[in-house]
Structure 1
Amino acid sequence: MTIRTATSADAAAIAAIYAPIVQATSISFETEAPSVEQMRERIVKTLQDLPWLVSEDAQGRVNGYVYASKHRERAAYQWSVDTTAYIREDARGQGIGKELYGELKRILVELGYCQAFAGIALPNEASVALHESVGFEALGVYRNVGFKHGQWHDVSWWQCTLQASAEPRPLQAFDAFGGHAGGLSA
């Protein structure tokens, strides 16, 4: 398995992983799967400030991804992020999510972030197990917060302390897989 920074060229593979989750499950609260172009725009926008990583299998195919996004808009939240991870259906249960999260957390610490949060639509035992395995702790549950596929769903919220305190650095000043450099590009 290889983990690397996502590029805009990964949009089709990422969209293919995400589409069946949107269409057939309540794990994502999106109701329409984003197009490849929409996914490309999301990747490029995220990489302006935060990491988006992909995992490749032995054949070089993207088999999972993880990324960070801004936790909230107000300035005092700037040291916290939300995280998201999805694994290709035929690659689940192989530790890919755990490896991706390990790299994401390492990069977030280097960038100065202190807290990571994740929301998990319930039920989702696999995601709960993944988040517990990488150090997230349950905070609470929003009850009946999302309506999809004809029923209401709860979302559990999780938190992982990345480090006690630090000041974030811009992603452009950090090369995720080699130290400091000119930045990451999509």
Structure 2
Amino acid sequence: MPERTEVQVRAGRDDDLVALTDIYNHYIRETPITFDISPITPDERRPWLLSHPEDGPHRLLVAQPESDGRILGYATSSPFRPKAAYATSVETSIYLAPDAGGRGIGTLLYTALFEALAEEDVHRAYAGVTLPNEASIRIHQRFGFKQIGVYEEVGRKFGAYHDVAWLEKRLS
């Protein structure tokens, strides 16, 4: 039986930027999961990284095996909307390396993210999920998210219109 590799979850940092951009670019190029259309460079992605400090309600957590430096995925909590009254709401997301699904990495990341958010002044978490995406719906439901609506045919990518389900989780 192969030895299980321990995976650590930690705050994202500048030297993760290339790997995080590579993961995200996979979803841009290969899936409708993100509505970005053109791959981005690490320099274009840097402001996003810097908008997620190690503490506070807007976090970036990465999963990395202790045995090597490869990033397996990341989870974020980001501002839900820019207006001040939305400050106690966050939008969460998970992106995994293409070969990291089905190994509990998403669960590990979301567990750590919601433990961190429990210490913050955050009342609600929201997630937008491009449909169909059973894996994403499943993990969000496992963490207590409930579907509150669907934007029908809200985005067009790869020549097709896609719906986005909106899910909500009460945090306080």
Asked if TM exceeds 0.5, the reply is yes
Q: What's the offset of the Cα at 1:152?
A: 0.5
**Residue segments in structure 2 that go unaligned for 5+ positions in a row:** 1-6
The match for 1:27 is 33
Paired letter, 1:15:
T
Runs of 4 or more above 4 Å deviation? none
2:162 aligned with 1:153, yes or no? yes
User: SS of the counterpart of 1:128?
Assistant: helix
Q: Which of 68, 90, 103 lines up with 1:94 in the alignment? A: 103
Q: Which of 61, 74, 88 lines up with 2:70 in the alignment? A: 61
The match for 2:90 is 81
Q: Which of 13, 35, 42 lines up with 1:7 in the alignment? A: 13
Paired letter, 2:15:
A
Q: Which of 113, 129, 143 lines up with 1:104 in the alignment? A: 113
Distance in structure 2 (CA, Å) of the matches to 1:98 and 1:33: 27
Distance in structure 2 (CA, Å) of the matches to 1:69 and 1:102: 16
Distance in structure 1 (CA, Å) of the matches to 2:48 and 2:84: 22
Distance in structure 2 (CA, Å) of the matches to 1:158 and 1:68: 14
Q: What's the offset of the Cα at 1:47?
A: 2.1
Distance in structure 2 (CA, Å) of the matches to 1:42 and 1:74: 18
**Residue segments in structure 1 that go unaligned for 5+ positions in a row:** 164-186
| Contact 2:26/2:98, CA 8 A, preserved across alignment | no
2:139 aligned with 1:130, yes or no? yes
Q: What's the offset of the Cα at 1:18?
A: 1.1
Paired letter, 2:105:
I
Alpha-carbon RMSD across the aligned residues, in angstroms, is: 1.3
The match for 2:149 is 140
Q: TM-score, normalised by structure 2?
A: 0.90
